[in-house]
Amino acid sequence: MKLTFNNLKELLIFNIKYYRYKNNLSQEKLAELCSLTPRYITDIERGLHCPTILKIEIIAKALNIEAYMLFQNPNRDKEIINKMKTSRQYNQKKNH
């Protein structure tokens, strides 16, 4: 499934969440792996914070991917996207 994004920040936010779901990680577990607060991960995924390059590298490592992959837009697994769309966090974001 190919998706369209308005800007690089939206792509980055989507990819962090996408790879987090792909790895079956909660925001809390990703935060723990990155030595960041769960609130910071939540705020990134909500678009309230834009992580620095260093934090992007840390997050990518915790997601078991190369950092550049957070800035690519390949075809995506439909099942993971559907899981993301039905999550409580995704639905809360859409209401704001």
The structural domains of the chain, with segments of one domain joined by +, span 8-94
Q: Tell me the average pLDDT across 35-48.
A: 96
Please say whether the dihedral angle defined by the alpha carbons of residues 39, 30, 27 and 60, taken in this order, is positive or negative: positive
As a whole-number percent, the residues of the chain with pLDDT over 90 amount to: 71
Q: Tell me the average pLDDT across 23-46.
A: 96
Give the CATH fold of the 8-94 domain: 434 Repressor (Amino-terminal Domain) (1.10.260)
pTM for the model: 0.85
Q: Is the pLDDT of residue 95 over 70?
A: no
40-49 — which CB contacts under 8 Å span 24+ positions? Answer: 41/16, 42/89, 44/13, 44/16, 45/13, 45/16, 45/17, 45/89, 45/93, 46/93, 46/96, 47/9, 47/10, 47/13, 47/93
Rounded distance between C-alpha atoms, residue 40 and residue 76, angstroms: 25
Q: How confident is the model at residue 88 (pLDDT cuts 50, 70, 90)?
A: low
pLDDT tens readout for residues 51-69? 999 999 999 999 999 999 9
